[in-house]
């Protein structure tokens, strides 16, 4: 098969980028795979793209966000800049403010010559573009990498264009059920799939270091202020324990002020982004997650694969589908800082319990292996390709199958 993954910002630091690059690398073991990005202001990707995966960026920006090149668009720089300042005609600004008439032009010219078997979109605005522009012979599969019900401004293109492509995949069963009910008889084939973990050497925690770790974008959504407040009483009772938070984002200054106000600058460290999180997880004895909502959290998956004891808010919806409470991790009542603090304190006091949870978490993490997940995707793609009929449009194909009717799959 020839498979193309379409990303908005392929070179950036994010869970979607990492998950797609990992999946593409695993699929490239048996198929011809390419990653196409719409925009980039970086010369190189933050997460390395395997040499087996071809990749390109359609619109390259400089450090100030001005376009310096656009594939298939031969125009002077001033004209490129003017087009990039004009709002997209394919994607409304509320869906994706970074898209413009320049990205419209670059994507439409590229996609008009697309000759792959399967096109995988990874955000609702990209789904909208593919539903409108991709050749009918190409199977279009949309993969969601966030808690889709809480997408806000980017939810409308998912709701509108999801029923117009071959399949839509969600991270959790709860989200998949939500959209089946929302779409009703208009639903396409709806799938649920885990994120794959990168196939890299993965050190394992020994649970001997007095360290709690967390990672993610420093944003309101991740609620690291909750974790800092929860850790404060734990730190008061356990002076050797430290909290490290990895990531960058708009809340960094506010979090530093909170840490200083609590007098914890020597106990809570904001570490910035790290490209070696496998080693960081293995250095920790506990990993905590305090998000307002999560899909299938890569933080939890990676920490569990490293054999760390994980503690998470029981937020919608991913943590509850990854963690079996009391067996391979702990779930605490959503938004209850006091309950989170109690759970952290209990694990800090009980190294045997940490090791028990960590060992079970490693066993659970076998389900996240990139090769295992790639084989499932391979089966879905092959079944969808086999279901095509000559001369049939994509919409005709989806309607013929009926609402949510699966095609035969042989894993």
pLDDT single digits (tens) 270-311:
999 998 899 999 999 999 999 998 878 889 999 999 999 999
How would you classify the pairing of strands 54-61 and 67-70? antiparallel
SS3 state of residue 48: coil
What percent of the chain shows pLDDT beyond 70?
A: 98
- Are 233 and 268 in contact by the 8 Å Cβ rule? The answer is no
Scored b (16 or more CB within 10 A) or e, 202-215 reads beebebebebbbbb
pLDDT of res. 71: 93
User: Nearest CA to 263 among 236, 282, 289?
Assistant: 236
Token pair in block for residue 69: 């090149």
Q: Distance between CA 142 and CA 252 in Å, rounded?
A: 33
Query: Helix count (H) and strand count (E) of the chain?
Result: 15, 14
- List of residues 6+ apart from 132 with CB closer than 8 A: 90, 161
Token pair in block for residue 109: 């010219």
Token pair in block for residue 96: 């994706």
Q: Distance between CA 261 and CA 274 in Å, rounded?
A: 26
pLDDT single digits (tens) 63-115:
899 999 999 999 999 999 999 999 999 999 989 999 999 999 999 999 999 99
User: Nearest CA to 87 among 374, 95, 387?
Assistant: 95
For residue 213, pLDDT beyond 90? yes
The DSSP output letter for 223 is -
What is the torsional sign of CA 110, 113, 116, 120?
positive
Q: Distance between CA 210 and CA 189 in Å, rounded?
A: 47
Q: Distance between CA 377 and CA 373 in Å, rounded?
A: 6
pLDDT single digits (tens) 217-259:
999 999 999 999 999 999 999 999 999 999 999 999 999 999 9
Token pair in block for residue 231: 């850790």
pLDDT band at 410 (very low <50, low <70, confident <90, very high): very low
Q: Distance between CA 362 and CA 368 in Å, rounded?
A: 10
For residue 137, pLDDT beyond 50? yes
For residue 25, what are the CA distances in angstroms to 21, 320, 332, 350? 6, 28, 35, 39
- Are 120 and 139 in contact by the 8 Å Cβ rule? The answer is no
For residue 207, pLDDT beyond 80? yes
Q: Can you list the alpha helix ranges (DSSP code H) found in 173-275?
A: 173-183, 224-237, 252-261
pLDDT band at 408 (very low <50, low <70, confident <90, very high): low
Strands ordered across the beta sheet of 54-61? 67-70, 54-61, 32-40, 2-7, 118-121, 139-143, 167-170, 189-192
Q: Which domains does the chain have, with CATH numbers?
A: 2-198+372-401 (3.40.50.2000), 211-368 (3.40.50.2000)
Token pair in block for residue 242: 């430290």
Helices 101-112/124-133 angle, 10° precision: 50
Phi, psi (deg, nearest 5) at residue 157: -65, -30
């Amino acid at each position: 098969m020839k498979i193309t993954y379409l990303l908005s910002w392929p070179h950036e630091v994010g869970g979607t980028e990492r998950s797609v690059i990992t999946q593409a690398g695993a699929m490239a073991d048996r198929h011809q795979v390419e990653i196409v990005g719409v925009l980039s202001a970086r010369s190189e990707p933050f997460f390395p793209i395997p040499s087996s995966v071809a990749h390109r960026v359609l619109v390259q920006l400089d450090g100030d966000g001005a376009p310096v090149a656009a594939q298939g668009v031969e125009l002077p720089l001033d004209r490129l800049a003017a087009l990039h300042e004009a709002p997209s005609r394919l994607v409304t600004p509320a869906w994706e403010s970074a898209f413009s008439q320049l990205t419209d032009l670059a994507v439409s010219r590229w996609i008009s010559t697309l000759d792959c078997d399967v096109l995988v979109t990874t955000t609702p605005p990209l789904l909208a573009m593919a539903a409108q522009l991709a050749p009918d012979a190409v199977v279009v599969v949309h993969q969601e990498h966030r808690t889709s019900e809480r997408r806000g401004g980017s939810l409308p293109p998912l709701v509108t264009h999801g029923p117009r492509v071959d399949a839509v995949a969600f991270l959790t069963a709860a989200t998949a059920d939500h959209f089946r009910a929302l779409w009703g008889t208009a639903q396409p084939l709806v799938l649920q799939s885990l994120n794959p973990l990168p196939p890299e050497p993965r050190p394992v925690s020994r649970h001997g270091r007095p360290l709690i770790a967390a990672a993610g974008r420093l944003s309101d959504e991740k609620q690291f202020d909750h974790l800092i407040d929860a850790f404060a009483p734990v730190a008061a009772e356990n002076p050797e324990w430290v909290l490290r938070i990895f990531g960058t984002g708009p809340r960094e200054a506010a979090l530093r002020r909170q840490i200083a106000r609590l007098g914890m600058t020597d106990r809570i460290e904001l570490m910035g982004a790290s490209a070696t999180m496998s080693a960081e997880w293995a250095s920790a004895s506990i990993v905590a997650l305090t998000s307002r909502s999560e899909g299938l959290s890569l933080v939890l998956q990676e920490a569990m694969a490293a054999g760390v004891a994980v503690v998470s808010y029981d937020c919608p919806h991913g943590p509850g589908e990854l963690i079996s409470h009391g067996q391979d991790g702990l779930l605490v009542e959503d938004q209850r800082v006091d309950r989170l603090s109690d759970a952290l304190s209990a694990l800090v006091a009980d190294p045997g319990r940490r090791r028990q949870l960590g060992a079970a978490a490693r066993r659970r993490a076998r389900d996240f292996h990139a090769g295992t997940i790639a084989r499932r995707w391979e089966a879905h793609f092959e079944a969808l390709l086999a279901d095509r009929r000559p001369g049939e449009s994509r919409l005709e194909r989806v309607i013929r199958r009926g609402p949510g009717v699966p095609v035969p799959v042989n894993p």
